[in-house]
Every structure is written in structure tokens, then in C-alpha cells.
Amino acid sequence: MEPIQSKVTVSTGGVVINPQGQVLLVNQNSRTWSLPKGHVEAGEDPLETASREIMEESGVGALHFIQMLGVYGRYKIGISGGEDKKEWKVICFFLFKTRQNDLAPRDPSNPQARWVDCDQVENLLTHPKDKAFFKSIRSQIK
């Protein structure tokens, strides 16, 4: 049996904090919850991608960049909720603050967004590596 050849993609996104100290989470395809993120498009720098993806997936556009949080890799989430080993994602996250509380997702693939108390984020994130990443950076977002 031949090994699976994974396509490698680069995504960037944001950990967005509102005035109440809550974290923005988005729902993808009505199946999974994650931090807002997406693929870097040609000619975009990673910070631009993160801002664009946050706007598309949540409607939050009033962002104040704080710092880079880190980079990690994982397989894409498959249709069944498990790992889709056809795509290895390299994901870079930035920390943003916003005064905007209203959410209005524009991307039909990400139909829901919500503000979540910081201590509930890990429970809602779908992918184990997303949970581990959030746990590793949680002290930086207080």
C-alpha cells in the first residue's frame, strides 16, 4: 500500500478577544468549532490573511493587532470529524483585541460565530491540536 501524499497548506488566523475577555470561535460547515483562520492567498501577507478571514467568518472588522502567538501543524478536519490526511495544515495565529461585539458571518461555509468565555474555549474546539495550541497560549491572552 502506498503512503498518503499530503498536500501542505498555510493558514493564518486570530485569537480575538472582546471587551468582556471572551474569545471568538467560528463554526465550519455546521460540524466543527475552531478559531477563525484560512488559507493565505497569493500576494497576501499572513496578518492580512488573518484579518480577512476573521471578517469573513465572523463579521468582526475592528481589530487591534497585539502580537504573534505561534505556529503549529495538523491535518485538516475531515467530513466525518476525524483527520483528513490528504491535507497537512501549517497554521499561524495572531492575537487581536476588538471593541466589536456584534457577529455577522459572511462566509457560507462558516455559518456561525460566537463569543466564548476563555475557560470554555478548549471544551468547544473540535480538533485536539487546536485544543492543545489554545491551552499553550492561554496565559498570553489574559
Give yes or no for residue 129 having a pLDDT over 60. Answer: yes
What is the predicted pLDDT for the residue at 2? 55
Element (H, E) at 52: helix 46-58
Q: Pick 85 or 77 by higher pLDDT.
A: 85
Class of the 7-140 domain? Answer: alpha beta
Domain boundaries in the chain?
7-140
Give yes or no for residue 81 having a pLDDT over 70. Answer: no
Name residue 36's amino acid.
P
Residue 46: which region, alpha, beta or left (left: phi > 0; alpha: psi -120 to 50)?
alpha
Element (H, E) at 122: helix 121-124
Q: What pTM was computed for the model? A: 0.89
CA dihedral sign, ordered 125, 59, 136, 127: positive
Q: Pick 6 or 119 by higher pLDDT.
A: 119
Place of cell 461585539: 101
Mean pLDDT score of the chain: 90
Place of cell 471578517: 55
Show the beta-strand stretches assigned E in the chain: 7-17, 23-28, 32-34, 37-39, 64-77, 83-97, 112-116
